[in-house]
């Protein structure tokens, strides 16, 4: 059994919990779980959600069952067994949330201590950070992290990662834009204490497709003249992005790939653009790319998407929790670029060059082969399976 | 020097000749030539157009210079040196073309003999087939081909390929949908006589992008529900596709990849759809794909493109002529799936399974490495170059 | 009470019946009913479905309640009261339908007589034709209609219209492409016997929007260079359009407007394009328009839509049934171009020039004013209401 | 002869001058000039550009001929006759422009006096304001305007309008978002002194189309759930909109129409969104609209456009200069809502309710009829012409 804790019980975390319960009972096809058909020794059935943390007063104390219903989902009864514990709001929680956080009316030091106790109780193997987007800077030493946690100047994700890495043998999966797997302080610490950080910022929507389209163009030696990409949605994530600092954080993780993939950086405008409530979680994406073809002729490509934002990430989390656990068990500590490059927008460790997602996928399959070998499973099968087992 | 003959002096063949002359003089950046920066011993400068064939009375006897001007291009004076010779119309030339073909008012046997003489004079190393789309069936034995050429029941592309393969040491690059590289008769014959066929049907527009998008979805285990793809343009190719048989030929090469890439065949409608003169060579593509994401949520993707159809293929031809020649020189006969899988819509030999173009590109680079090694060039460099030398 | 008979109990007719029942009980907002807020003396509540005809063996004998459930709708119990009677298949019913028609194994003459009896029983005020698309020619004299009905050479819609117009004081609303309101024979007959025909072919999807966009461009004196429009869907209507004759019928009603609205006919390709089952009733539309702006610069517009085909037409039917009845009551016989020009793709009578839908809407409001006046309702109010009462 | 002065010799003003010269010589079809075919007594040939003002050091002192060539246009020699005079930069000129303005190193009072002298020399009948977008507030009294001009606290457009309205018998056409025709101070002053202000903000791109699409939906009683509209371009206008205040000014004029047209204000996000240099003047627009259709079904519409921004407005200016002059001559002073409602995004006077552009066009044609009558031209012809004379 893999003990999983969710940080941030928003729509992503809830779809994850709801879908996982249904997957385990065979009520749901595992569409959207990239490695659903690849056996590396950690089946979906082994995942168990043991804790959940949030700062939203409307959620703290409620069960995942109640929260799932609040999102209009039909949850399995098992979700009644996990209640949301209060988390840490720090200075980085959006102002539109009414909080019931550990650090509401309690000194930071006490709040941290209280959170440590909750972790002691939950004993998670894997912590999944799906909290609100926050901007951050990389942290370079554990001492720096220590000092800044104490003084209360770090955003919530880096504080959670710090608290997780005080422990050993745990994995921290950071699916949002804060620098966790891109903080050398955390990667080095994890390597030292037999832990793991994966991240940063799940790559689920228009960005990974754009990466692959960029590679597609590069392979034909087409010269990209410009890229414009707009995203607008109506979920809480988009609402939080109306705060300029958060928007900037997102913009940074969304456009970093162009130079690495193309070999040059074309003029571009790639941003989460706005909040429009009736779009709900099904965001609208519009993208325009133009390039020079043979003979100097200019071609144009427009992409429009309606993407269910949260389910796409929730599907990834099913893999990430399993891969994190399998890696730990195989003695892989620190971070795993082969995982990050496929699943993340800004793959750790800091300074990792992007590559086409399709190429990252091949590397991921090779890494999974190594995991299989470490378990004594027959080699070369994972790749084959992944290509053939779509029913 | 690589001696190149063009079969079908339409817009593609003309952009190719016009652009090649400019490339050789450094007047054009090699955008749209996929391997422009990869050295495998056959530089662009070594290509020389030595002959051109067409059946259009408005073209036969004219120089490539005059024809390029007729298409509104500003050609280099070198193009005056090649005049269009009459080709074979057979039963497969579109009815809207007024012909001046070898088989106009001359017995087929005599016309074939005359074409053989023209080939004797031109001595091409590489023949490039950019004639009008035609529907065909695979040919399984050389005897069958022989008999059907004689009785006049084969479409022009298969007849041209037959006549080319009577010779040895030549490469036939088939950039249109007829079965040439997908005719076992031709591949086996080429292997026997030290020749090569590449094909079929250049993959330049929406199809290769769709292949890669399909792979992108498959890697995330998203279940594709349907694919609709429309193409409409105003060039002669689209005009010829208004004849139902040709349209069917095109449809076949456009949608074969889905099952191979996805592992199942989703309902789809993928077709060249119509002719609309004012769109010119810059076709309009509209595509709709929907799939199931995690939790059963349905996402949608719409792609709209304006693509300069002919330049895209002309850029490929610069590579294909060079790769064909380099392969022959390295003793690679028959056909080369590594080349076909990247550049072609229905890659030969018959029965080849499609794969994502991005994966085919990796295989192509490996094949190019082998070409380099056979020339004593240092190994492992091509790949690196291809990824880093975009200026 | 207005007695309504439905001809063709497909998805449109079923959404109409299902939605009408819900509207009457206040369970549904009247969105999609253009004149929902305009009072011309025939409230929605007065409509009563008294009969339904179909030839599909899977429907004949079933109640509208059962049929609605079969389409996945949650119907009101009232729908149990109407059962589907057998209709006439003639030579024009799609081959993919297994029929249980009046003319299955019964001489045509007897079948017609039987249908007349069913009409005698139902005594409809308004017949709504939402049968499968069929191609036809206009009929010019009642005698011609009589003769061709007898010999069985007319498609079902024209036969139904003929049988309806044998009666007096009835309205025939033709929402499909056959020539009914565009058959002088029917319009003249209706005028003589105090009846009414409205039609042809409900204008609900991309076509009316294209008409208005064309007007928008014309008002700015922009020169339209080309129009491409594709439609693909997965309902029975699209399935039937895979039969070439039906497709042609649809193409004709879809592109007739360009010359009338623009003053010239630009090159265009406007067609229902294909059937793709997973799209269901929510068709996908792609449209490309390019034009010359000031100074000779060329602009481009691409429209993509996902439109619920059947509900859009069902909403119109709520108006059309009411308007037809109100017109009859006001002594307006023959046909009403003011109604047809707004609601229909090929507005009758034959030869009517198209106009922008937005201008047709103004004329419709004026006609409704006249209906109001004939009922002694205060003038000038309808227009105002229509513009201001959206809540 | 109508004497026209251009304020802001950017790309719009230059396309206008370049195109007008070509129109007058019959070298250009009048596409994009809405009333090109409507005779109201002021033919295109009567327009004469007599002055031009700008603050850009790279333009002041240059002839329109030189400036047109700088934009890559091939200008007529007549454009050599007009040189750009220095204008007023005030506090509202974008920081990225190196200025050579009248108020560079000269007290404001002197600069204003100097501008008055330049107007005395030029004696324009019509001033056209195509300066950079600036945010403003309406001005309610002439005294307020007077005081704030003197203290230098007004943006350039309002200062120019003030200086123009010190004179009588002139028309000020404000094609940018500042409050001019929406400043009661200016409209009242114009009415008093026999002058005219038209404005504000030319409605040429996505906004007027969106207005008409909104009307189209309203007429079918479809309930609009949300509207998202993005605009991105590479011209100086988009560059200036990267300054937040200007962006806000634009956003205000772009989204005011929804409530007036629909009768309610749906959630919306309608904004100029970004600057992307390689798009040039041909901006990219993406729009998403979703609505409720009959039965509660939700439809979606996506519009993508590539629009040449400046030519579209330049074409309008040909009409606006002529209409302004014709109005003055017919004794129409103050402002003309019938003109503003069709050509402008925020039609003056302040408080004017928007209406569909297609309805505004009808009112415009009626107004033009009145202009014709005042000239003794036969009535009822303009409308007819406008609808039928597209060749």
Flag whether pLDDT at B382 surpasses 60: no
Burial class (CB in 10 A: 0-12, 13-18, 19+), D194: middle
Contact D276 A226 (CB under 8 A): yes
**Cβ distance A313 to B34 under 8 Å?**
no
pLDDT score for B386: 46
pLDDT score for A259: 94
Confidence of residue A382 (pLDDT cuts 50, 70, 90): very low
* Tokens (6 digits) for B189: 């014959």
Rounded average pLDDT over D225-238: 94
Q: How many CA atoms lie within 13 A of B252 on its CB side?
A: 20
**Residues of chain B contacting C269 with CB distance shorter than 8 Å:** 232, 273-276
Pairing of β D2-7 and β D47-54:
parallel
pLDDT score for A380: 56
* Domains along chain A with CATH numbers: 2-202+311-374 (3.40.50.720), 206-308 (3.30.360.10)
* Tokens (6 digits) for C318: 């709520």
Q: Determine which helix (DSSP H) or strand (DSSP E) holds A263, and give its type and residue range.
A: none
pLDDT score for D253: 76
Prior bond of A44 cis (ω within 30°):
no
Contact B230 C230 (CB under 8 A): yes
In tens, the pLDDT along D86-115 reads 999 999 999 899 999 999 999 999 999 999
* Tokens (6 digits) for D101: 């303005």
Chain B residue with CA closest to C300: the answer is B306
pLDDT score for C222: 97
CA-to-CA separations, C135 to C207, C249, D89, D111, in angstroms, rounded: 18, 5, 67, 74
**Residues of chain B contacting A219 with CB distance shorter than 8 Å:** 34, 357-358, 361, 386
Confidence of residue D380 (pLDDT cuts 50, 70, 90): low
Contact D220 C389 (CB under 8 A): no
Q: How many CA atoms lie within 13 A of D305 on its CB side?
A: 25
Query: Cα Rg for chain C, rounded, in angstroms?
Result: 20
**Cβ distance B9 to B59 under 8 Å?**
yes
Looking at per-residue pLDDT, the higher value among B182 and B96 belongs to: B182
* Tokens (6 digits) for B16: 């190719």
Rounded average pLDDT over D212-224: 97
pLDDT score for C271: 85
Contact A286 D286 (CB under 8 A): yes
Chain B residue with CA closest to A302: the answer is B304
- C-alpha–C-alpha distance, residues A126 and A173, integer Å: 7
| Residue C170 dihedral angles phi and psi, to the nearest 5° | -120, 160
**Residues of chain B contacting A311 with CB distance shorter than 8 Å:** 293-295, 297
**Cβ distance B224 to A32 under 8 Å?**
no
Rounded average pLDDT over D310-330: 98
Q: Where are any strands of DSSP class E within B162-297?
A: 171-174, 196-198, 223-233, 268-275, 282-292
With a CB cutoff of 8 Å and minimum separation 6, the contacts of D253 are: D177, D200, D201, D207, D345, D346
- C-alpha–C-alpha distance, residues D297 and C255, integer Å: 27
For residue B55, give the nearest of B106, B17, B4, B21 by alpha carbon.
B106
Size of the B and C interface in Cβ pairs below 8 Å? 75
The interface predicted TM-score of the complex, written ipTM, equals 0.95
Give the Cα-Cα-Cα angle B151, B152, B154 (nearest 5 degrees).
115
Q: How many CB atoms lie within 10 A of CB A364?
A: 27
* Residue of A37, A291, A312 lying closest to B293 (CB–CB): A312
For residue A11, give the nearest of A334, A240, A209, A183 by alpha carbon.
A240
* Tokens (6 digits) for C320: 């059309």
- C-alpha–C-alpha distance, residues D201 and D343, integer Å: 8
pLDDT score for B380: 56
Chain CA centroid to CA B22, Å: 21
* Residue of B273, B279, B302 lying closest to C226 (CB–CB): B279
Give the Cα-Cα-Cα angle D151, D251, C301 (nearest 5 degrees).
135
- C-alpha–C-alpha distance, residues A384 and A370, integer Å: 14
Contact C18 D295 (CB under 8 A): yes
With a CB cutoff of 8 Å and minimum separation 6, the contacts of A330 are: A370, A371, A374, A375
CA-to-CA separations, A69 to A6, A72, A73, in angstroms, rounded: 18, 5, 5
**Cβ distance B355 to B208 under 8 Å?**
no
Give the Cα-Cα-Cα angle A193, A197, A200 (nearest 5 degrees).
160
Query: Cα Rg for chain A, rounded, in angstroms?
Result: 20
| Residue B46 dihedral angles phi and psi, to the nearest 5° | -80, -10
Flag whether pLDDT at A119 surpasses 80: yes
CA-to-CA separations, B208 to A257, A342, B283, D70, in angstroms, rounded: 22, 22, 15, 40
- C-alpha–C-alpha distance, residues B383 and B372, integer Å: 11
* Residue of B22, B294, B386 lying closest to A32 (CB–CB): B294
Chain D residue with CA closest to A269: the answer is D276
- C-alpha–C-alpha distance, residues A336 and A345, integer Å: 14
Flag whether pLDDT at B289 surpasses 90: yes
How many angstroms separate the CA of residue B154 from the nearest CA in chain A?
33
Flag whether pLDDT at D346 surpasses 90: yes
**Residues of chain D contacting C384 with CB distance shorter than 8 Å:** none
Enumerate chain D positions whose Cβ falls within 8 A of a Cβ in A.
Answer: 225-226, 228, 230, 232, 266-269, 271, 273-279, 284, 286, 288, 290, 300, 302, 304, 306
pLDDT score for A379: 63
- C-alpha–C-alpha distance, residues A11 and B297, integer Å: 13
- What does A316-379 look like in DSSP terms, one character per residue? HHHHHHHHHHHHHHTT--B--HHHHHHHBSSPSSTTPPP--HHHHHHHHHHHHHHHHHHTTPPT
| Residue C256 dihedral angles phi and psi, to the nearest 5° | -70, -20
For residue D204, give the nearest of D179, D239, D233, D180 by alpha carbon.
D233
Size of the C and D interface in Cβ pairs below 8 Å? 203
**Cβ distance C317 to C19 under 8 Å?**
no
pLDDT score for C379: 63
For residue A172, give the nearest of A327, A17, A361 by alpha carbon.
A327
In tens, the pLDDT along B319-333 reads 999 999 999 999 999
pLDDT score for D379: 63
Give the Cα-Cα-Cα angle C147, C153, C158 (nearest 5 degrees).
80
**Cβ distance B92 to B149 under 8 Å?**
no
- C-alpha–C-alpha distance, residues C207 and C228, integer Å: 12
3-state secondary structure string across B94-121: CCCCCECCCCCCCCHHHHHHHHHHHHHH
> Mean pLDDT by 10-residue block, N- to C-terminus, for chain C (391 residues)?
97 98 97 96 97 98 98 97 97 93 96 97 98 94 97 97 97 97 98 97 93 97 97 92 81 84 95 91 97 98 97 98 97 98 97 96 97 81 44 32
In tens, the pLDDT along D149-196 reads 999 999 999 999 999 999 999 999 999 999 999 999 999 999 999 999
**Residues of chain C contacting B275 with CB distance shorter than 8 Å:** 269
Q: How many CB atoms lie within 10 A of CB A264?
A: 12
Question: Which chains does chain A touch, 3 or more C-beta pairs < 8 A?
Answer: B, D
**Residues of chain A contacting B264 with CB distance shorter than 8 Å:** 390-391
Confidence of residue A389 (pLDDT cuts 50, 70, 90): very low
Flag whether pLDDT at A384 surpasses 90: no
Rounded average pLDDT over B343-354: 96
Flag whether pLDDT at B385 surpasses 50: no
How many angstroms separate the CA of residue D166 from the nearest CA in chain A?
44
In tens, the pLDDT along B53-88 reads 999 999 999 999 999 999 999 999 999 999 999 999
Chain C residue with CA closest to D265: the answer is C391
Most distant CA pair in chain C, distance? 68
**Residues of chain A contacting B36 with CB distance shorter than 8 Å:** 221
Contact D279 A226 (CB under 8 A): yes
- C-alpha–C-alpha distance, residues B361 and C385, integer Å: 63
**Cβ distance B295 to A11 under 8 Å?**
no
**Angle between the N-to-C axes of helices B184-193 and B156-165, in degrees from 0 to 180, rounded to the nearest 10:** 20
Contact C226 B277 (CB under 8 A): yes
**Residues of chain D contacting A274 with CB distance shorter than 8 Å:** 228, 269, 271
pLDDT score for B342: 98
Question: Residue B305 in 3-state DSSP?
Answer: strand
In tens, the pLDDT along D250-259 reads 777 777 899 9
Residue C295 region by backbone torsions, left for phi larger than 0, else alpha for psi between -120 and 50, else beta: left
User: Which of B265, B269, B271, B285 would you mutate first to test chain C, the one with the most C CBs within 10 A?
Assistant: B269
* Tokens (6 digits) for D291: 């609505």
């Amino acid at each position: 059994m893999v003990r999983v804790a969710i940080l941030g019980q928003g729509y992503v975390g809830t779809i994850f919990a709801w879908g996982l319960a249904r997957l385990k009972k065979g009520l749901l096809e595992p569409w959207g779980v990239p490695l659903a058909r690849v056996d590396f020794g950690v089946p979906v059935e082994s995942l168990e959600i043991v804790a959940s943390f949030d700062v939203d007063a409307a959620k703290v104390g409620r069960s995942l069952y109640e929260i799932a219903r609040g999102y209009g989902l039909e949850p399995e009864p098992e979700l009644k067994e996990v209640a949301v514990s209060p988390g840490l709001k720090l200075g980085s929680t959006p102002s539109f949330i009414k909080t019931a956080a550990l650090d509401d009316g309690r000194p930071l030091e006490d709040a941290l201590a209280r959170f440590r106790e909750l972790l002691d109780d939950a004993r998670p193997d894997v912590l999944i950070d799906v909290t609100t987007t926050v901007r951050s800077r990389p942290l370079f030493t554990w001492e720096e992290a220590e000092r800044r946690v104490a003084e209360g100047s770090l955003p919530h994700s880096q504080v959670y990662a710090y608290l997780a890495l005080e422990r050993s043998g745990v994995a921290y999966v950071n699916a949002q834009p804060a620098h966790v797997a891109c903080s050398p302080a955390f990667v080095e610490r994890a390597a030292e204490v037999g832990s793991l950080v994966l991240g940063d910022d799940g790559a689920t929507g228009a960005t990974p497709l754009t990466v692959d389209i960029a590679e597609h163009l590069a392979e034909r030696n087409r010269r990209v003249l410009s890229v414009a990409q707009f995203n607008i949605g109506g979920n809480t994530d988009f609402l939080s992005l109306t705060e300029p600092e958060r928007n900037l954080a997102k913009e940074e993780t969304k456009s970093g790939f162009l130079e690495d993939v193309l070999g040059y950086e074309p003029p571009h405008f790639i941003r989460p653009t706005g909040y429009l409530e009736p779009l709900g979680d099904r965001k609208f994406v519009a993208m325009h790319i133009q390039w020079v073809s043979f003979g100097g002729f200019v071609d144009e490509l427009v992409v429009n998407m309606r993407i269910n934002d949260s389910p796409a990430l929730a599907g990834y989390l099913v893999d990430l929790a399993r891969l994190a656990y399998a890696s730990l068990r195989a003695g892989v500590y620190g971070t795993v670029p082969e995982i990050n490059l496929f699943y993340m927008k800004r793959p750790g460790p800091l300074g990792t060059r992007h590559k086409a997602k399709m190429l990252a996928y091949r590397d991921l399959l090779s890494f999974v082969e190594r995991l299989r070998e470490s378990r004594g499973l027959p080699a070369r099968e994972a790749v084959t399976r992944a290509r053939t087992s779509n029913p």
